[in-house]
Chain A
């Protein structure tokens, strides 16, 4: 029946976390991230969500770039000053990594959605591949930018 919550139950519960159900009953929350052994598919999934969120902010930066361009040279100079600062550079590096990582992660998910690569070893391999592509593409992208002199510190 509807047992009221007592502190004694918390000690026996594995999670120690409780949720008040809409009907007023207190029930233990199912275990979350901390009980699972880390696995590369987890990492790739979390990275895909985080980079996707970062790219939401990145789209705002691109829109701000267009706005600055449309308002003429003075407005653009203000944008460029921030964009070329060390802070701006860090943001661009983060955004480029997010782009490459999320792009590869998206392709990985499309492969999985097509029903391929779903055995544990294949899923892990695809996860490693997508993360590796994200890191490698970012390094090459910035090496090319610095070597061609388009970006300088």
Chain B
């Protein structure tokens, strides 16, 4: 029995040292430090979407255009004025996904232009059945653009890192440059490192 004890203890020790992988529920995701995190992404999307839903512009547009949704375009990216390399396109795309899925607006794919053009050219050639080919001249122009800026003010001192972050987004009308909707989500976090490492 005693002979078995040491190997068993060794195995238990090794098992305890083994790496683990666990899935994190995004709804309960929290930030790890003062930097931008995936939890902030959800917070920003939720904040912007509730503001869009509360804003009367989209309901008014539907009423004025016989239920037709406004055609929108994403700005190339959210202007990043922070001190972090953030994939800001992700924020825009997340909001676009929610707006399409919730039936708020239609979007023109700003990144599909080259691929679509190539396909149209190919289908217009003799390689394709012209009767069934996609027609040229059907692209829909966007009437509104969704854009924004993400900025931060950080103060780092010793082990303390204080980060204020602000995301401001708006939708402007291409024809008039009038801003039809705007909102901001802001938060401030303090992260303190342990004195020992």
Is the pairing of A and B real? no
